[in-house]
Copies of this chain bind each other. A is one copy, B any other.
Amino acid sequence: MATETIEVEGHIIDSLILAKVLDTILASGADYQILDVAIGRTNTDTSRAVLQVDAIDDDALNALVEVLQVHGANRVGSRDVALVACDQDGVLPAGFYSTTNLPTEVRVDGRWLPVVNPEMDCALVVAGDIVRTVPMHRVTIGDLVVVGGDGVRVHAPSKRGGLNAFEFMNSEVSSEKPKALLVARVAERLKECRARGGKILAVCGPAVVHTGAAPDIARLVRDGWIDVLFAGNGFATHDIESNVLGTSLGVSVDVGLPVEHGHSNHLRVINEVRRWGSIEAAVQGEFITGGVMYECVKRPIPFVLGGSIRDDGPLPDVHRDVVAAADAMRESIAGVEVALMLASTLHGIATGNILPAGVETFCVDINHAVLTKLADRGSHQALGIVTDVGLFTRDLCTALG
């Protein structure tokens, strides 16, 4: 038998944290004893629990403790982290500490140093007083990487993403909520975010264009509601196509042409933008005169178009190297406090993978299964809204004035 003492602190009752911790222990075949518990008397007080965890052996215990940390539970104790230098570019030392996306601190020489940029599934690299998350492919020989779990502590997710969002996310009920209420709620959060100077990220899938929501997104960009845009070749192409080939769009989205490959308009648009060399050049050359991508160039706001193996073309701005695309996304998310994921599975999941836990995320999709998949990726702050992205976006635009 192997034993460890862990503690968890924060809104651990009303955010389900303690329940999840206990359940995870039992589900893994381990057992627990509650050594100490102090529950806050009011909903603004935090609570704290100390548990003894008993697992069958050290391997099981370490695996379990690692999982528990995703829920905000830390080992009790105060050793420094162990550091091992990389001996190969892009390869981590065995036993590397694998990050959550929660606020994290690392003890070096007796001092707790905050991790600058929380991101899950990364390594922690210590350089002097600076601790950063680094994805596997970016470590280089000599980087000092944290190994094992000693000297690392995380902070439990705050109340905001508690039961409400969770229930919403996981319950079909959400498709039966009065949608006017939900739209108002999202609009309010966007206003609060902008008021406090936070950035807003939009992640858009092609259905945003197909359902007629692109002009609304364009307006949001123009009016300063969106600070960063992530999308793929499909979204950008259809957005440009609908602006460049005006009337043709009327045909292509009409009833009689349900076969996506029934027309070549998107290929011709991609081809012409490739001739210009970039979306920005095509805007400057007045080949593109409106739409979401146009507004991004004009305002300007940064956008990242990540490639995928199903892409036609692709557009010259699309990152063909997916690792480079994710790196570009990482560089763009500093300051983002609210993320709006609109009918985007692939880019939505990719974005969820790199956002810190604290970013409030609204996922809108007509397919319940997509939202569940997004939620399963571990985001603590995601609210899934099962609705029609076309109608939702138009109403959101109206609500934002």
What residues on B are CB-neighbors of A137 within 8 Å? 313-314
* 8 CB < 8 A contacts A-B: A18-B19, A100-B261, A121-B312, A164-B255, A168-B255, A314-B322, A366-B366, A388-B391
Q: Contacts A179-B212, A376-B173 given: A258-B368 contact, CB under 8 Å?
A: no
A263-B63 in contact (CB<8A): yes
A32-B22 in contact (CB<8A): no
B-binding segment of A89-97, A108-116, A188-196, A286-294: A89-97
Q: Contacts A136-B274, A258-B167, A267-B136 given: A253-B177 contact, CB under 8 Å?
A: yes
Q: Does A58 contact B (CB under 8 A)?
A: no
Q: Does A66 contact B (CB under 8 A)?
A: yes
Q: Does A181 contact B (CB under 8 A)?
A: yes
Interface, chain A (partner B; CB < 8 A): 13-16, 18-20, 22-24, 26-28, 31-35, 37, 39-43, 49, 60, 63, 66-67, 70, 88, 90-92, 94, 96, 98, 100-101, 120-121, 135-137, 162-164, 167-168, 170-173, 175-181, 207, 210-212, 248, 251, 253-265, 267-268, 270-272, 274-275, 306-314, 319-326, 329, 345-347, 349-350, 353, 366-369, 372-373, 376-378, 386-388, 390-392, 395
Tell me the complex Cα distance, A188–B368, Å: 31
B22-A19 in contact (CB<8A): no
Q: Which of B15, B323, B324 contacts A314 (CB 8 A)?
A: B323
Q: Which of B120, B274, B388 contacts A261 (CB 8 A)?
A: B120
Q: How far is the CB of A188 from chain B (nearest CB, A)?
A: 14
Q: Which of B24, B96, B329 contacts A271 (CB 8 A)?
A: B96
Q: How far is the CB of A245 from chain B (nearest CB, A)?
A: 10
Tell me the complex Cα distance, A39–B347, Å: 43
Q: Which of B40, B253, B260, B324 contacts A376 (CB 8 A)?
A: B260
Q: How far is the CB of A275 from chain B (nearest CB, A)?
A: 5
What residues on B are CB-neighbors of A171 within 8 Å? 170, 258, 372, 376
What residues on B are CB-neighbors of A100 within 8 Å? 261
Q: Contacts A176-B210, A178-B253 given: A42-B32 contact, CB under 8 Å?
A: yes
What residues on B are CB-neighbors of A392 within 8 Å? 388, 391
Q: Contacts A271-B96, A391-B387 given: A369-B172 contact, CB under 8 Å?
A: yes
Q: Which of chain B's residues has its CB closest to A378's CB?
A: B261
What residues on B are CB-neighbors of A390 within 8 Å? 178-180
Report the 10 A-B pairs with minimum CB-CB distance, sorted nearest first. Answer: A27-B256, A98-B264, A178-B212, A170-B170, A172-B372, A176-B210, A23-B163, A391-B391, A261-B378, A306-B309
Q: Knowing that A23-B256, A121-B264 are A-B contacts, what are 10 other residue pairs whose CB atoms are under 8 Å apart, sorted by A's residue number?
A: A13-B22, A24-B262, A63-B265, A66-B264, A172-B369, A307-B323, A309-B322, A309-B325, A311-B326, A346-B346
What residues on B are CB-neighbors of A163 within 8 Å? 19-20, 23, 27
Q: How far is the CB of A26 from chain B (nearest CB, A)?
A: 6
Tell me the complex Cα distance, A263–B325, Å: 25
B310-A309 in contact (CB<8A): no
